[in-house]
Amino acid sequence: MKFWKSFDIEIIKFKEGKHEIDFEIGDSFFQNFEDNEIVEKGKLTTRVIMDKGANVIELTFHIKGTVQLTCDRSLELFDHPLDFTEKMIYKYGGEEQEIDENVYMITRDTPTINVAQLIYEFILLALPAKKIHPDYLNELDDEDLDVDGGYVYIDDELEGETEDETPDSKEETKPVDPRWEQLMKLKNKEQS
C-alpha cells in the first residue's frame, strides 16, 4: 500500500501553472506488478512536469535510466538504456473514464492521480520488440533486421527490366517450362 501512495500526485494541493515532480524507480518498483515478466530490475528517474490549467491537467513524463533485460538470442542479462518522453492529459468532467490512450477524464473533486501504472506501461512500450544483447548486435542476420516480420521476394529475372518491359513481354521470348505451359495459355486467354 505504501508503494502505491509514493506515486500519488496530490493535484488538489497544486495551483494552476507548471510544477515538477520526480520519482525514483528501482527494482522494487517492478516487483509490485503481478504481470511483470519482461523487466524485473531497473534504475530510472521519472520527471513529471505537470501543467495544471482550469479545465485540463497535462502531465509530461521524461523517463531516463536503464532496465535489465534478457537477450532473446543468448538468454544473457544486459542493461538496456531508456530515455524517452510521454504525455498524458486529464480533463475535468462529470465522471472518471478513459477517453483514449492519452486522455483520461476525472472529476473536479479528484484529490490525487496515481502515476505508477502509467510509468510502468510507458517503460514496457519503450522496450525494443527484439531484445538483443549489445555483444550480439554485430551478428544480426536478415531475420533480425526484418521489421515487418515478413520476407522480401527478389526476382532475379526482373532485375534487368526497364519500365517499358513487363514480365509478360519477356515470357514470350523465353521458353516456358512445359509443366506451366497450359496455365500460361489459360492466363493469356483470360487477359485477351
The proportion of the chain whose per-residue pLDDT surpasses 90, expressed as a percent, equals 53
Question: What local confidence, expressed as pLDDT, does residue 187 receive?
Answer: 74
Strands 77-92 and 56-70: antiparallel
Residue 100: HSE in the Cβ half-sphere, 13 Å Cα cutoff? 2
Question: What local confidence, expressed as pLDDT, does residue 148 receive?
Answer: 45
Statement: residue 47 has pLDDT above 80: yes
Statement: residue 145 has pLDDT above 60: no
Q: Which residues pair with 21 in a beta bridge?
A: 48
Give the span between the Cα atoms of 183 and 177, in whole angstroms: 10
Residue 167: HSE in the Cβ half-sphere, 13 Å Cα cutoff? 8
Mean pLDDT over the full length of the chain? 82
Compute the average pLDDT of residues 98-114.
92
**Among 123, 101, 105, 99, which Cα is nearest to 46's?**
123
Lowest mean pLDDT among 14-28, 52-66, 111-125, 140-154: 140-154
Residue-range domain boundaries for the chain = 2-140, 156-191
Statement: residue 164 has pLDDT above 70: no
Compute the average pLDDT of residues 85-112.
92
Asked whether 30 and 117 are in contact (CB, 8 A), the reply is no
Q: Using CB atoms within 10 Å of the CB of residue 68, give its burial: 0 to 12 exposed, 13 to 18 middle, 19+ buried.
A: middle
Question: What local confidence, expressed as pLDDT, does residue 135 receive?
Answer: 85
pLDDT band of residue 142 (cuts 50, 70, 90) is very low
Three-state secondary structure readout of 27-45: HHHHHCCCCCCCCCEEEEE
